Amino acid sequence: MDGNGNSETPELNAPRPRRIAILTAGGDAPGMNAAIRAVVRSAAIAGIEVIGFRRGYEGLIRDLAEPLDGRSVANMIQRGGTFLETSRSPEFRTPAARGLAARNLKRHQIEALIVVGGEGSMIGAAAFSAETGVPVFVIPASIDNDIPGTDYSIGFDTAVNTALEAIDRIRDTAFAYERVFCVEVMGRDSGFIAIAVALGGGAEAVIVPEIPFSLDDICDRVEDSHRRGKRSTIVVVSEGPRTGGVIPVAEALTARLGMQARVVVLGHVQRGGAPTARDRLLASRMGAGAIKAILDGAGPSLIGEDRGAIVRVPLSEVATQRRPLDPSLIELVHQLST
């Protein structure tokens, strides 16, 4: 990685591509449209055509291609979701399907592919590029913020702010009635949303999939806060089988406290809505960064953010990694709730 955060030295004599492709894959995230917009408009300045594939990798296999230009992305920066649509494609996990996708790209004379998506999409992109030789550049977009090689992924800030707005409202009712609320947030295999929401929302406890927990310890903590005179309690729980979800936590608290612990499941409301300013800015910078990487002749890369700078990280380095959660943040939640 050079001093500008680039994973490879630019090839000075590398020919400029004439046509590239872009798709959005996996779970949608607020800011995906802003990233597409940045890619299309940055490419137009460089004289590069952009072909969009609808419905992610499935559309790449089915050849759901359409040209994109400045008019295609007009009035898109503030919209949530992805106008190119997305899907999860089990078929793309097979070499045969990836070979068909490569032939479709070749038929359209496409010289590079940009994938806007999460961890699973990145793994698929790395396999596709390694097998076919197609240069693939991944723009990390996931509300879970679990993608290695970048400090933040597109959509995380919006999801956290959406959940925080809900928790602020829940806290009003919890205080008025002196109640316990157990709030389930998204993050089946990743606790980044739960930790951020717990810290930002002043929760008394948080449960995440990466770190073992004891329901007895959670009950002890809530019971102790009540003995110290706290009028309201919020417990944040990541969804999914690794935590068991919010229901067992609420049942345990109800049995221990002798009062019903209320349950709120935020669900997919965290995925939707207009992206925050932070996500729009990040998506725009990453989209432009992807085009710069292509123009520089860089190899297959993740376009990430490292301490505020847009960087390139080789896909081969990040596709086999997982982004760790800092366990000290759990203790910080507990410290600040006393």
Q: For residue 155, give every residue at least 6 positions away whose Cβ sits within 8 Å of its Cβ, in sequence order, or none.
A: 28, 29, 30, 31, 32, 141, 142, 143, 271, 275, 279
Which residue carries 């300045």 as its tokens? 45
The two three-digit tokens of residue 10, written as one number: 């630019």
Say what angle helices 119-132 and 95-107 make with each other, to 10 degrees: 70
Kindly write down the DSSP assignment for every residue of 113-171, as one continuous string: EEEEE-HHHHHHHHHHHHHH---EEEEEB-TT---TT-S--BTHHHHHHHHHHHHHHHH
Residue 28 annotated to the active site = no
Alpha helices in the chain, H assignment, sequence order: 32-45, 56-62, 95-107, 119-132, 156-177, 192-201, 215-227, 246-257, 277-295, 315-318, 328-336
The total number of residues written for the chain in this structure: 338
Query: Which amino acid makes up residue 109?
Result: Q
* Annotated catalytic residue, options 28, 144, 146, 279: 144
303: three-class secondary structure by DSSP: strand
Which residue carries 């240069």 as its tokens? 135
**Cβ-contact 22, 39 below 8 angstroms:** yes
Q: What is the torsion angle, in degrees rounded to the nearest 10, for the CA atoms of residue 153, residue 280, residue 82 and residue 134? A: -60
Q: Which residues pair with 268 in a beta bridge?
A: none
The Cα 45–Cα 104 span in angstroms is 26
The Cα 109–Cα 126 span in angstroms is 20
**Which residues does the annotation mark as catalytic?**
144
